[in-house]
């Protein structure tokens, strides 16, 4: 039966994902941010792939670099779901739309969620191509995926504890794989425009190291479902007021392609080391 409840819709989509991809139950989900698709290729060839247009509740991505499919592949004996692309609030989608992919993956069996993104760097010492493990976030979107009607039974109440959104254990694994990996605080804004120099100065004063337009709502939704979350940002450009040149989305995709081999090995190493 059709439903408007986002949790029931994710349950339905999870059953469709499992039926479409087959194989053993997945345990890890990787959400690809802008420019991260070349890195995903390093993980290995998918054993199965389904377009999200064939699954319940998935909106259509409208941003270059976000394809709209889910792949299944095996890494070190673990079944991994790779969500090739995401949607954003700035595309006109709701909070429930934005986190639908993550909810679906967790309800399909993924107890670990790796959220990747392209981010503007606020630290001039971190050039484009720098990978950063997200230690915490500032949700400045003024939105929450848990707003609206309360979650239905048997889900927890919407007042989820966010004392440790991003797993210290998984960050330690990531640092074992890449000792040069930085830690940083990610500021999530609604977008789609880039920030002004004054806004970047404000974010730096608030303690942010990175700025982007995704990730925070997905992390909240995943933690509400008790998934362990790792966030990895790729600095694809220096933010306004830090960068000496104007900002452009094409440089985001180019930076992802250039960093792909190292990022793919990082993802693989983390999954192998869990």
Euclidean distance between CA atoms 100 and 59, whole angstroms: 9
CA 74 from chain centre, in angstroms, equals 20
Residue 241 pLDDT grade (very low, low, confident, very high; cuts 50, 70, 90): low
User: Would you say residue 113 has pLDDT above 90?
Assistant: yes
Strand partners, 182: 132
145-166 as b/e: b if 16+ CB within 10 A = bbeeeebeeeeeeeebeeeebb
The strand pairing partners of 42, in sequence order, are none
The SS3 call for residue 106 is helix
Half-sphere CA count of 114, side-chain side, radius 13 A:
29
Distance CA 156, CA 23 (A): 29
69 and 51 Cβ atoms separated by less than 8 Å: yes
Mean pLDDT in residue range 203-220: 97
Tell me what the mean pLDDT of segment 15-29 comes to.
96
- Does pLDDT of 259 surpass 80? no
Question: What is the pLDDT at residue 256?
Answer: 65
Which is more confident, 129 or 189? 189
pLDDT at 109: 98
What sign does the dihedral 201-202-204-209 (CA atoms) show? negative
pLDDT band at 272 (very low <50, low <70, confident <90, very high): very high
pLDDT at 239: 72
* Res 248: pLDDT: 62
**Percent of the chain residues past pLDDT 70, beyond the cut:** 91
- DSSP codes joined into one string, 130-183: -EEEEEEEEE-SS--TT-SSPPPTTSPPS----TTSS-HHHHHHHHHH-TT-EE
pLDDT at residue 149, as a whole number: 93
Mean pLDDT in the chain?
A: 91
Over residues 141-168, the mean pLDDT reads 96
10 Å CB burial of residue 19 (0-12, 13-18, 19+) is exposed
Partners of 110 in the β-ladder: none
The top-scoring range by mean pLDDT among 29-38, 58-67, 201-210 is 201-210
The tens digit of pLDDT for each residue in 67-98 reads 789 999 999 999 999 999 889 999 999 999 99
> What is the structure's pLDDT at 97?
96
Model confidence at 3: pLDDT above 90? no
User: To the nearest whole percent, how much of the chain has pLDDT over 90?
Assistant: 73
Backbone angles phi, psi at 236, to 5 degrees: -105, -15
> Where is pLDDT greater, at 96 or 194?
96
CATH superfamily of 6-273: Nucleoside phosphorylase domain (3.40.50.1580)
CB 162 within 8 A of CB 134: no
Q: Mean pLDDT over residues 167-180, rounded? A: 97
pTM: 0.94
Tell me whether residue 44 is exposed, middle or buried, using C-beta atoms within 10 angstroms of its C-beta: 0 to 12, 13 to 18, 19 or more.
Answer: middle
* 54 labelled catalytic: no
Q: Which of 195, 199, 228, 251 is catalytic?
A: 195
* Averaged pLDDT, 190-205: 92
């Amino acid at each position: 039966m059709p439903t408007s409840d986002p949790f029931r819709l994710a349950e339905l989509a999870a059953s469709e994902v499992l039926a479409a991809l087959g194989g053993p139950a997945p345990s890890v989900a990787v959400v690809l941010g802008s420019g991260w698709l070349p890195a995903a290729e390093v993980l290995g060839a998918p054993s199965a792939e389904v377009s999200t247009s064939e699954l319940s509740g998935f909106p259509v991505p409208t941003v270059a670099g976000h394809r709209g499919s889910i792949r299944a592949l095996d890494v070190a004996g673990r079944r991994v779901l790779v969500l090739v692309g995401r949607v954003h609030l700035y595309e006109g989608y709701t909070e429930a739309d934005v986190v639908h992919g993550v909810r679906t993956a967790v309800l399909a069996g993924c107890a670990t969620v790796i959220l990747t993104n392209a981010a503007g760097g606020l630290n001039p010492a971190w050039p484009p191509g720098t990978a950063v493990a997200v230690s915490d976030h500032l949700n400045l979107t003024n939105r929450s995926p848990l707003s609206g009607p309360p979650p239905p039974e048997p889900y927890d109440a919407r007042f989820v504890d966010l004392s440790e959104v991003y797993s210290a254990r998984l960050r330690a694994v990531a640092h074992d794989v890449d000792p040069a990996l930085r830690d940083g605080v990610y500021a999530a804004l609604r977008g789609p425009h880039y920030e002004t120099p004054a806004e970047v100065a404000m974010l730096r004063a608030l303690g942010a190291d990175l700025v982007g337009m995704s990730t925070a709502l997905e992390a909240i939704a995943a933690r509400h479902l008790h998934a362990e979350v790792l966030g990895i940002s790729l600095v694809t450009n220096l933010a306004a007021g830090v960068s000496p040149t104007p900002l452009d989305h094409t440089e985001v995709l180019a930076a992802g392609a250039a960093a792909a081999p190292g990022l793919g090995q990082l993802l693989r190493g983390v999954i192998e080391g869990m």
